Structure 1
Amino acid sequence: MMLPMETWMSHLPAELWDTPLCCMAIPGSHNAITYCLDKNDRSPVDLMQPDMLQKLDKYMKPIIRPFVYKWAIAQEACIREQLDCGVRYCDLRIAHRPNDRSNDLYFYHGVYTTITVETVLKEIREWLDLHPKEVVILSFSHFLGLSQELHTLLVSTIKSVFDSKLCPKMECATLQKLWDEGHQVIISYEHNIANYHRELWSHIPYWWANKCKAEALIEEFEQRKLHGRPGGFFVTGINLTEDLKYICSHPTESLKDMVMSTYPTLLSWVKLQKPGSNTGSINIIAGDFVTESQFIPTVITLNENLLKRNIIPRH
Structure 2
Amino acid sequence: MENLDEVSIEKVPMEDVREFYENLESWMSDLPPQLKTLPINHLAIPGSHDSMTYTITKKSKIGPDGPHFLRYLGCLLPVVRPIIFNWSITQHEDVKAQLNGGIRYLDLRVARKCQSDEVCFLHGLYGAPVEQPLNDISDWLSLHPEEVVILDFQHFYEFDDSLHHELIKIIERTFRGKLCPVFSSFSHISLQWLALEKYQVIAIYRNIAVLTATNLWYSNLWITPWPNTVNPGYLVRFLDEELETRNTETGFVSQCLLTPDTYYVARHFFGNLEKDLVNVCRDNILPWIREKKPGSDGLNIVISDFVSYNDFLFSKTVIQRNAELLKWSDKTTSRKYIEVRSKSKT
Question: 2:73 corresponds to which letter in structure 1?
Answer: L
Is residue 284 of structure 2 the alignment partner of residue 270 of structure 1? no
Q: Measured at CA, do residues 313 and 166 of structure 1 come closer, stay the same or move farther in structure 2, by a change above 3 Å?
A: farther
1:232 to 229, 238, 250: 250
Question: For residues 116-153 of structure 1, what are the alpha-carbon distances to aligned partners after superposition, in whole Å with 9 as ceiling and x for unaligned?
Answer: 11111110011001101000000112101122111111
CA RMSD for the aligned pairs? 1.9
Where 2:146 maps in the other structure, the secondary structure is coil
Aligned to 1:308: 327
Is residue 305 of structure 2 the alignment partner of residue 288 of structure 1? yes
Question: For residues 44-79 of structure 1, what are the alpha-carbon distances to aligned partners after superposition, in whole Å with 9 as ceiling and x for unaligned?
Answer: x423x33443343344x3232221100000101000
Alignment of 1:76-155 (within 5 A): 76-100=92-116, 103-113=117-127, 115-155=128-168
Distance 1:184 1:164 in 2: 9
Q: Measured at CA, do residues 243 and 301 of structure 1 come closer, stay the same or move farther in structure 2, by a change above 3 Å?
A: same
Question: For residues 230-289 of structure 1, what are the alpha-carbon distances to aligned partners after superposition, in whole Å with 9 as ceiling and x for unaligned?
Answer: 6311211111111233223334431111202331221001111111113xx121001100
Alignment of 1:163-174 (within 5 A): 163-170=176-183, 171-172=185-186, 173-174=189-190
Distance 1:232 1:62 in 2: 45
Where 1:164 maps in the other structure, the secondary structure is coil
Percent pairwise identity = 35
Cα offset for 1:223?
Answer: 2.5
User: What TM-score comes out, normalization by structure 2 length?
Assistant: 0.84
Where 1:8 maps in the other structure, the secondary structure is helix
User: What TM-score comes out, normalization by structure 1 length?
Assistant: 0.92
Paired residue total? 307
Distance 1:34 1:86 in 2: 18
Aligned to 2:12: none
Distance 2:273 2:199 in 1: 36
Distance 2:327 2:27 in 1: 18
Aligned to 1:7: 26
Aligned to 2:51: 32
Cα offset for 1:312?
Answer: 3.7
Question: 1:28 corresponds to which letter in structure 2?
Answer: G
Asked if 2 retains the 8 angstrom alpha-carbon contact of 1:205 and 1:230, the reply is no
Distance 1:200 1:69 in 2: 31
Distance 2:300 2:171 in 1: 25
Is residue 215 of structure 2 the alignment partner of residue 199 of structure 1? yes
Asked if 1 retains the 8 angstrom alpha-carbon contact of 2:50 and 2:107, the reply is yes
Distance 1:225 1:244 in 2: 28
